[in-house]
């Protein structure tokens, strides 16, 4: 199965991003991600089996233990790819608690021999794919308020012609020391 580990977004932030995406959808063409699919990827594992998923869960638990919620501070829009056909995302400030979480997760996966995409961590929430950007600036937009992520989740991703379907396989709470 195709898998990745990501932070889930708090409901308020998710709703605010839905509003932002609605504004954007009036200005650019593209395949917009449904609000329930918003997430911040920490590590993309790709194809793994049952045994590896158990090890990935152990790695998540190890890293989540004693860790508090992670601050998500939106910084602005960005793109991957060429302006005529790009992925449009909302960038998130790489604060130490977020960067360290991603690094510790990746190290814990590596310790268990689980491979993942090793590209540098660039925290972002994908809003739309196959986007064609208009020339010039996008008009001013209301950005979501900072919020805290409290869940690190292992997702199964099923690719379909209509877009990916994500299914949570395991959730590790970032609840702090009391967990
Ligand atoms: P689609 O590929 O059909 O557009 P998707 O990108 O939402 O759908 P996946 O490709 O399964 O679905 O990706 C799941 C998550 O992992 C997304 O956040 C995606 O950006 C990220 N991701 C996918 N491939 C990689 C990769 N090679 N390295 C890092 N992150 C990746
Ligand atoms: Mg993809």
Query: 41: CA distance to ligand 1 center in Å?
Result: 8
Residue 155 half-sphere exposure, CB side, CA atoms within 13 Å? 23
Sheet holding 40-47, edge to edge: 40-47, 2-7, 151-158, 165-173
Phi, psi dihedral angles at 31 (to 5 degrees): -100, 100
Number of the ligand 1 atom closest to the C-alpha atom of 129: 4
Q: What percent of the chain shows pLDDT beyond 70?
A: 98
Ligand nearest to the CA of 159: 1
Assess whether pLDDT exceeds 60 at residue 39.
Answer: yes
Catalytic-residue membership of 39 = yes
Q: Tell me which residue has tokens 């508090």.
A: 68
Q: Which of 14, 106, 124, 151 is catalytic?
A: 124
The 3-state DSSP class for residue 21 equals helix
Q: Which domains does the chain have, with CATH numbers?
A: 2-173 (3.90.1140.10)
- The H-assigned helical ranges of 11-167 are 11-25, 50-64, 96-111
Sheet of 74-82, strand order = 29-32, 124-132, 85-92, 74-82
Report the alpha-carbon distance of residue 86 to residue 50 in Å, rounded: 34
In our burial notation (b when 16+ CB lie closer than 10 A, e otherwise), range 131-148 reads bebeeeeeeeeeebeebe
Pick the residue with more confidence: 88 or 135? Answer: 88
Distance in angstroms (rounded) separating the CA atoms of residues 137 and 81: 17
Q: Is residue 124 annotated as a catalytic residue, yes or no? A: yes
State which ligand 1 atom lies nearest to the alpha carbon of 117: 28
Given 14, 39, 106, 151, the catalytic residue:
39
- Check pLDDT > 60 for residue 53: yes
**Could you tell me the maximum CA-CA distance found in the chain, to the nearest angstrom?**
51
Q: Whose CA is nearest to atom 30 of ligand 1?
A: 44
Which tokens sit at 6?
């990501």
The number of CA neighbours under 13 Å toward the Cβ of 166 is 22
State residue 142's pLDDT score. 85
**Is it the case that residue 176 has pLDDT exceeding 70?**
no
| Residue 55 binned pLDDT confidence (cut-offs 50, 70, 90) | very high
Tell me the average pLDDT across 81-99.
97
Provide residues with CB under 6 Å of ligand 1.
2, 4, 41, 44, 117, 119, 126, 129, 157, 159, 163-164
Distance 157 CA to ligand 1 centre (A): 8
């Amino acid at each position: 199965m195709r898998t990745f580990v990501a932070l889930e977004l708090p409901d308020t932030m998710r709703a605010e991003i839905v509003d932002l995406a609605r504004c954007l959808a009036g200005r650019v063409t593209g395949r917009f991600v449904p609000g329930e699919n918003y997430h911040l990827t920490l590590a993309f594992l790709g194809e793994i089996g049952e045994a590896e998923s158990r090890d990935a869960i152990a790695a998540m638990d190890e890293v989540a233990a004693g860790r508090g919620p992670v601050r998500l501070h939106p910084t602005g829009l960005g793109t991957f790819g060429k302006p005529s056909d790009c992925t449009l995302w909302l960038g998130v400030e790489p604060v130490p608690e977020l960067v360290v979480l991603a690094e510790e997760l990746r190290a814990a996966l590596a310790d268990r021999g689980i491979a993942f995409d090793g590209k540098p961590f660039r925290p972002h929430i994908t809003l739309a794919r196959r986007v064609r950007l208009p020339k010039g600036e996008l008009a001013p937009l209301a950005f979501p308020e900072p919020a805290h992520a409290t869940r690190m989740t292992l997702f199964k991703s099923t690719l379909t012609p209509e877009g990916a379907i994500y299914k949570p396989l395991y959730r590790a709470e970032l609840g702090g020391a009391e967990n």
